[in-house]
């Protein structure tokens, strides 16, 4: 055998062995890669399942929480509406109770005024008649005449006060007509124009232009407004006096508020505000606001006041629409 052929055969065997070894190595690698792929697929599928479960759980939890939140919001909204309704109803009941108390107090004042007038007027009339007889006596000297005049003036003043008290607390006969509340206030302000200018008081009007007419006795309701405006003028002590008047519609009523930046009053004075002969004015009789209350109550309306010392007072009048 030739040596070259022997060498070639030997090389072929070596190559074949290497090919077999390489084939085994590739096969082992392939099996290893397949095992890794299978493991990776299992991990990926497991991960996807876990993610799907988490997403499903999150969506389910979110929907449940969202549903519970909506139910809670609806419940809270319903409770809030019920609470607002109850507060509104309570406020209405309180206003009705205040009006009832005001009317009861007014009726009691009227009864007391009627009793006082009866008890005072009878002896007062006797005094006046006796006084007239004494004045007719020709033997009276000058001093006696002067004293009799003083007695006459004061008895007449008492008589006028008793008459005014009766008029400010008795039920009135009203001549109802349809009128614009804004026009009535303007007419009242025109009457008080000189006093407002004299005291350098600025009037701010915030009228509801579309407000309905009211059924009122024009002359008497203007007297009621005038008494309140005069009270505001006399309460203002600063040089920059302001009276603000608002009109609005509320709960089928026409609402008028008259506010001033005057000295205001404490709660004790406020509680006696509409009582007859209660006044802080030097020359006042204390019957103006009593008369205003009487007129407004006779119109089936109501009047209230809020005040704070050094900040001013607000009167609120409510009248039924025409």
What is the residue extent of each domain of the chain? 176-322
pTM over 0.75, yes/no? no
* Alpha carbon distance 68, 170 (integer Å): 63
* Alpha carbon distance 164, 235 (integer Å): 23
Element (H, E) at 223: helix 218-235
Q: CA angle at residue 105 from 100 to 107, to 5 degrees?
A: 95
* Alpha carbon distance 87, 74 (integer Å): 20
* Alpha carbon distance 315, 297 (integer Å): 14
* Alpha carbon distance 10, 127 (integer Å): 167
CB atoms within 10 A of CB 214: 22
* pLDDT tens, per residue, the chain with 322 residues: 556 677 777 777 777 777 777 777 888 888 888 888 888 888 888 888 898 898 998 898 888 888 888 888 888 888 888 888 888 888 777 777 776 676 666 666 666 667 677 677 778 788 888 888 787 777 777 788 788 888 888 888 887 777 777 666 666 678 889 999 999 999 999 999 999 999 999 999 999 988 878 999 999 999 999 999 999 999 998 778 999 999 998 878 899 999 999 999 988 888 888 877 777 766 667 778 888 988 898 888 889 999 998 889 999 999 988 6
**Can you list the positions of beta strands (E) in 92-189?**
177-179
**Which architecture characterizes domain 176-322 according to CATH?**
2-Layer Sandwich (3.30)
């Amino acid at each position: 055998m030739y040596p070259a052929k022997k060498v070639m055969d030997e090389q072929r065997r070596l190559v074949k062995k290497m090919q077999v070894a390489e084939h085994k190595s590739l096969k082992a690698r392939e099996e290893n890669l397949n095992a890794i792929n299978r493991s990776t697929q299992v991990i990926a599928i497991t991960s996807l399942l876990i993610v799907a479960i988490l997403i499903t759980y999150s969506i389910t939890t979110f929907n449940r929480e969202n549903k519970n939140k909506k139910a809670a919001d609806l419940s809270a909204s319903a409770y809030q509406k019920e609470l607002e309704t109850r507060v509104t109803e309570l406020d209405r009941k309180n206003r009705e109770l205040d009006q009832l108390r005001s009317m009861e107090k007014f009726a009691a004042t009227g009864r007391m005024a009627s009793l006082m007038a009866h008890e005072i007027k009878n002896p007062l009339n006797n005094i006046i008649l006796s006084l007239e007889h004494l004045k007719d006596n020709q033997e009276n000297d000058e001093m006696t005449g002067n004293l009799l005049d003083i007695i006459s003036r004061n008895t007449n003043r008492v008589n006028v006060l008793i008459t005014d008290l009766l008029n400010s607390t008795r039920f009135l006969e009203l001549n109802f007509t349809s009128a614009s509340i804004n026009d009535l206030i303007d007419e009242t302000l025109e009457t008080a124009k000189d006093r407002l200018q004299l005291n350098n008081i600025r009037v701010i009007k915030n009228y509801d232009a579309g407000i309905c007419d009211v059924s009122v006795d024009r002359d008497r309701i203007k007297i009621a407004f005038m008494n309140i405006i005069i009270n505001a003028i006399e309460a203002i002590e600063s040089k920059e006096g302001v009276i603000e008047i608002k009109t609005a519609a509320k709960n089928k009523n026409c609402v008028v508020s008259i506010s001033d930046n005057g000295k205001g009053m404490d709660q004790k004075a406020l509680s006696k505000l509409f009582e007859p002969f209660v006044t802080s004015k030097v020359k006042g009789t204390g019957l103006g606001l009593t008369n205003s209350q009487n007129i407004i109550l006779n119109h089936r309306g109501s009047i209230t006041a809020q005040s704070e010392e050094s900040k001013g007072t607000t009167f609120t009048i409510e009248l039924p629409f025409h």
